[in-house]
Amino acid sequence: MTAPTPPPARSHERPPVYVIGGGPGGLAAAASLTALGVRAVVLEKSDRVGASWRTHYDRLRLHTTRRLSGLPGLPIPRRFGRWVARDDVLRYLEKYAEHHDLEVVTGVEVTRVDRAADGSGWVLRATGGRELRSAAVIVATGHNHTPRLPDWPGTATYGGKLLHAAEYRAPGPYAGQDVLVVGVGNTGAEIAVDLVEGGAARVRLAVRTAPHLVRRSTLGWPAQRTGILCRRLPVGLVDRLAAPLAKLSVPDLSDKGLPRPDTGLYSRVREGAIPVQDVGLIDAVRAGKVEPVAAVASFDGDAVVLADGSRLTPDAVIAATGYRQGLEPLLGHLGVLDPATGRPRTQGARTLPDTPGLYFQGYTNPISGMLREIARDAERIARRVAADPAYGGRRR
């Protein structure tokens, strides 16, 4: 039997590729580069990999299947089940870094990325006065980086308890309380269900725009696989096909305050609104355990004022209002960010003409699954970098 061919030896003669961020995107990119013999150094500002995952609420599970969520070179273990729990994601990421023998430097925060003076590459400025140079940099600080709290009038003087979903861990502290969850994305929907199951006395869900609700799995067929297929089809066709399927699989909740959306499912996805995968919200709304209400308009003393003029005085308000990528201090001066959203103007193996060698990984939330696309982009980026003469020009 012929022995398997080992991966190319790492080269220490050239500056490494620096990967900023030790989450799934950064680790996947580093492993893919290592497999092609390109030295990659992951710079992580916290003391461990997967830092953002450690701050998510306790009951979180992937909405994508285990088989379609593994990163390059190491499947997620079967014992973690089909829908992998947060703590098992962390175990997997730690094992992933160990399995691939990745160079991960913790406790180092990159604060600014600049073009080298001679135009030959990049200079990273990091904590401790470090200046690191490389021909290629992969930015992978994470899609959910900086909690975003809307600038509601009256927030500064609100007398009640207001927190972002990033601060929510478990329902225990809210048992017996009246809680308003703001935002009906996947996070808000799941926290609302968690509160109900954890004994909150009343749970209301403030809805600005009615979401598309989909079953996480139907007769064993995961919604993620449908999402993968949809990416290859025209937007209008997917919208037309999705509408009757939604009526068959999801009950009409209009009388409960959660009407069906008036825009197509895939049209909304293209605008950045991912469907809400049901993990108990539908049954909770039908049973009256989660009460949809109008969007939050402002705060007034101890009251929350809704868009329909009604006033609530909940014990706690949990804002599941999303995140910013927080990339402006790092590289906002380079013209690589969309001015409206703050997200990178390019993604994966594509680079902008004025910033060759600067790659972004993990800043989209596609209907086909974030981890799946992270894995695919990591391999594409690695092939592109390995083909660069600065790294030996190896084409794969």
pLDDT at 100 over 90: yes
Q: Could you tell me which CATH number the domain at 149-319 has?
A: 3.50.50.60
Instruction: Decide if 71 contacts 111 (C-beta within 8 A).
Output: no
Higher pLDDT, 60 or 219: 60
pLDDT category of residue 13 using cuts at 50, 70 and 90: low
Higher pLDDT, 177 or 5: 177
pLDDT at 364 over 90: no
Query: What are the sequence ranges of the domains in the chain?
Result: 17-145+325-391, 149-319
Domain 17-145+325-391 and domain 149-319, same fold? Reply is yes
pLDDT at residue 110 in the model? 97
Read off the pLDDT of residues 334-358 as tens digits, 9 standing for 90 and up: 999 999 989 999 999 999 999 999 9
Q: What percent of the chain has pLDDT over 90?
A: 76
pLDDT at 319 over 90: yes
pLDDT at residue 7 in the model? 42
pLDDT at 272 over 80: no
Place of tokens 């809704």: 306
DSSP 8-class letter at 61: B
pLDDT category of residue 245 using cuts at 50, 70 and 90: confident
CA proximity to 14, closest of 37, 42, 35, 32: 37
Read off the pLDDT of residues 195-220 as tens digits, 9 standing for 90 and up: 999 999 999 999 999 999 999 988 88
Instruction: Decide if 214 contacts 277 (C-beta within 8 A).
Output: yes
Task: Quote the CA–CA distance of 183 and 253 in Å, as a whole number.
Answer: 17
pLDDT at 87 over 90: yes
Can you give the three-state secondary structure of 259-308, one letter per residue? CCCCCCHHHHHHCCCCCEEECCHHHHHHCCCEEEEECEEEEECCEEEECC
DSSP 8-class letter at 25: H
Read off the pLDDT of residues 101-132 as tens digits, 9 standing for 90 and up: 999 999 999 999 999 998 889 999 999 899 99
pLDDT at residue 345 in the model? 95
Mean pLDDT (whole number) for 247-257: 92
pLDDT at residue 241 in the model? 86
What's the mean per-residue pLDDT of the chain?
92
pLDDT category of residue 8 using cuts at 50, 70 and 90: very low
pLDDT at 395 over 70: no
pLDDT at residue 2 in the model? 39
Mean pLDDT (whole number) for 257-279: 87
CA proximity to 318, closest of 155, 143, 154, 192: 192
Mean pLDDT (whole number) for 364-373: 90
pLDDT at residue 359 in the model? 98
Higher pLDDT, 95 or 229: 95
pLDDT at 332 over 50: yes
Homologous superfamily (CATH) for 17-145+325-391: FAD/NAD(P)-binding domain (3.50.50.60)
